[in-house]
Amino acid sequence: MEDIHQRISEIRSDFPFFSQEGKFKDWVYLDTAATSQKPNRVINAELEFYQQFNANIHRGLYEISEAATAAYEKAREQISEFLGSQDSDEIIFTRGATESINLIAQSWGGLNLQEGDEILVTNLEHHANIVPWQMVSAKTDAQLNVIPIDDQGNLDMQYAMDAIRGGKVKCMALVHVSNALGVTVEVAPLIQAAKEQGIFVLIDGSQAVTHFPVNVTKLGCDAYVFSGHKIFGPTGIGILWAKRKVLEEIPPYQGGGDMIRSVDFEGTTYAEIPAKFEAGTPHIAGAVALGEAIEYVNEVGFDAIATIDQWLFGRAAEIVESIDGLKRIGNTLDQVGVVSFYSDQIHPSDLATFLSTDKIAVRTGHHCAEPLMKRLGIPGTVRVSLGIYNNAEDLDRLEKSLRSAVTFLS
């Protein structure tokens, strides 16, 4: 690659947030794991849809509605290709990763789980991959089985393999990359072992799809989910990919318009997939803009993304490790996008408030992963999360502010 800083600077100029003249001019944004900033072309795609193509989809026999439908369906194709799916009907538009997981937990879990069955998750999960399973467990008397981690967030692979082969696990739902620690879970061997046992596998790729290419066909899982807003797309739109066979077997999640073939007060026949899972008017402009975001990622390319990610992570980790009293969590090379740390002396909220007065946005607390924080024995961490638009100056400012925060607060 040409000079990495030059490339970052080009990427950064695609994001109007960083050249704004508004209230948050000159802020350092280090909370991309919570939500990413949006490039111009995504913002413009949404704008252009509303300005020029706005009509409801699948309903009108006039040309505008047909064009809106075509734009919506094109986004489905783009996402299908992005995930390496063989069949774009396997892509369901949802509100986000949370809704995608709820859909699978309710529809697949409600149909297939019984008393005594286990749902295997990790101790790294986001609440979005815990609570939906607890809700279906309460109805079905299935139980959660949690794969433990060590102090640095590495999964106990032996425990996982034993559980998979233990005969009780019916469903495995794993985070691909932890939002709280940035640890990448080595999902491939676990999926392979689980499929040998006929276990249903869902992967939560919310933090993975922005960092490395994912191919659901090669992975061999049954379902894969992510949110549009974390990959430069709009909020309110997300993806569930699941195998055709699964989507055809399980009942619909919500009822309403667009998801039916015919309705009669005596009974209703459901539409084919994907319409079966898209009741009501979807976030059409959001889907179109998400398609554009995916094109943007393809254009930047995962090679460049990996190079930038590696540099950003290395620099941020080095900053944290060089400051006395700060403890970074994670020791693997398999971390990406997130540097999470804490101090025995200084409360994470105080560090964040201090950084905020220097116009630096980081996240603190349990990051929607309370069971993980309990396991690590800390109330929360400070999380620096990185996007391909963060530059060397951002991290220099972080370093300076963190150093003075630690001096001031301890």
Partner 1 sequence: MTDPEILKDIVLSHYKQPKNKQNLAKSDNVFRAKNPNCGDLYAFAIESDAGMLNITHDTQGCAAAVASSSILTEMLNGLSSEGALKFVRSFRDTFLNGRPLPEDTSVELEALHFFKQSPARVLCVDIAWETVENALVRPS
Ligand X SMILES: Cc1ncc(COP(=O)(O)O)c(C=O)c1O
Catalytic residues, by residue number, are: 368
Q: For ligand X, give the closer residue by CB, 83 or 271.
A: 83
Cα 382 to chain centroid, rounded? 19
- The phi, psi pair for 290, rounded to 5°, reads -65, -40
337 binds ligand X (CB under 6 A): no
**Per-residue CA distances from 266 to 121, 193, 262, 269, 289 (Å):** 40, 44, 11, 10, 39
Backbone angles phi, psi at 269, to 5 degrees: -105, 135
Helix (H, G, I), strand (E, B) or coil at 200: strand
**Which residues, 379 to 398, sit near partner 1 by CB under 8 A?**
379-380
Pick from 80, 184, 206, 364 the residue near ligand X by CB under 6 A.
206
Angle 278-222-114 from CA coordinates, rounded to 5°? 90
Other CB atoms within 10 A of residue 324 CB:
9
Question: Site residues for partner 1, window 328-347 (CB under 8 A)?
Answer: 347
DSSP 297-312: HHHH-HHHHHHHHHHH
Q: Does 96 bind ligand X (CB under 6 A)?
A: yes
In 3D space, the residue among 174, 168, 210, 169 whose CA is nearest the CA of residue 191 turns out to be: 174
Q: Which is nearer to partner 1, 317 or 409 (CB)?
A: 409
Residue 197 binds what, of partner 1, ligand X, none (CB under 5 to 8 Å, by partner type)? none
By CB under 6 A, tell whether 175 contacts ligand X: yes
Stretch that binds ligand X, among 94-102, 246-254, 314-322, 398-406 (CB under 6 A): 94-102
Among 8, 79, 83, 97, binds ligand X (CB under 6 A): 97
For partner 1, give the closer residue by CB, 259 or 402: 402
Please report whether residue 348 would count as binding partner 1 according to CB under 8 A.
Answer: yes
Of the residues 168, 244, 366, 403, which one makes contact with partner 1 according to CB under 8 A: 366
The structure tokens 């999902």 sit at: 187
Interface residue with partner 1 among 220, 325, 365, 371 (CB under 8 A) is 365
300 versus 326: smaller Cβ distance to partner 1: 326
Out of partner 1, ligand X, none, what residue 128 binds, judged by CB under 5 to 8 A for its kind, is ligand X
**335 near ligand X (CB under 6 A):** no
Q: Least separation, in Å, of the C-beta of 357 and partner 1?
A: 9
How far apart CA 148 and CA 122 sit, in angstroms, is 6
DSSP symbols for 262-306: EEETTEEEEPPTTGGG--S---HHHHHHHHHHHHHHHHH-HHHHH
Residue 350 near which of partner 1, ligand X, none (CB within 5-8 Å, type-dependent): partner 1
Cis amide linkage into residue 274, ω under 30° from 0: yes
Q: Kindly tell me which residue out of 227, 335, 343, 381 binds ligand X, with binding defined by CB under 6 A.
A: 227
Q: Which is nearer to partner 1, 131 or 409 (CB)?
A: 409
Q: Considering only CA atoms, which of 280, 287, 237, 285 is closest in space to residue 50?
A: 285
**Site residues (vs ligand X, CB under 6 A):** 96-98, 126, 128-129, 175, 179, 204, 206-207, 227, 368
**Site residues (vs partner 1, CB under 8 A):** 347-350, 353, 356, 364-366, 379-380, 408-409
